Amino acid sequence: MIVRSLLACILVLSLSGVVRPQTRARSHPPAGAPAAATSDGLYRNPALGFAYKIPFGWVDRTPDMQPEHSDPAKAQVLLAVFERPPQASGDTVNSAVIIATESLAAYPGLKTAEDYFGALTEVSAAKGFKVTRTPEAFEVDARTLVRGDFSRDLGKFQMRQVSLVMLARGSVVSFTFLAGSDEQLDTLIENLSFSAAKPK
């Protein structure tokens, strides 16, 4: 499942800023579906009804984060942006925003967005994260998602993770935010919108 490989890769990137270069094309939407696009630093996804304002100067690693040999109908990374380039290592969290979809068919028995946190918590715990906020309803532009918070103690600093999850168009849509402070996380989450999705 994408949640396992994707989160593992995200956490490594955010901790060390290191990634192997890969060449993968960005997946295309199904025929007839409105195309997602980034313009002037704003990623819009009309098919799923959301937009994300990418922080100025951040690095887009979306093509490199696509799961190897994946079927876009089953799993897809829609957006993967990082505060600094992978080759620019640092001693702080490399803040990141990862937005991905997975087919509901990959999770038999999953009925609600909250159910997805079983797998998400398992993967996060395997990477040393602890739950700091159990899944609960969270509103963005009058759209209700489910939010769960995690943190990992790294000695002189902490890595914080917030995951927002919704179900849409037969898929689980996850919005994962990683940063070194709650204030940074709040700023990243505020860039998510469900009222600015339509292209101008």
7 falls within a domain: yes
Task: Decide which of 132 and 92 is more confident.
Answer: 132
63 falls within a domain: yes
- Residues 40-54 have pLDDT tens digits of 999 999 999 999 999
What pLDDT does residue 158 have? Answer: 87
Tally of domains in the chain: 1
* Structural domain containing residue 90: 2-16+34-193
25 falls within a domain: no
- Residues 100-110 have pLDDT tens digits of 999 999 888 89
Q: Is 72 exposed, middle or buried (0-12, 13-18, 19+ CB in 10 A)?
A: middle
199 falls within a domain: no
Report the alpha-carbon distance of residue 76 to residue 181 in Å, rounded: 28
CATH number at residue 114: 3.40.1000.10
113 falls within a domain: yes
200 falls within a domain: no
198 falls within a domain: no
Report the alpha-carbon distance of residue 101 to residue 45 in Å, rounded: 12
Task: Decide which of 1 and 194 is more confident.
Answer: 194
| pTM of structure | 0.84
What pLDDT does residue 28 have? Answer: 44
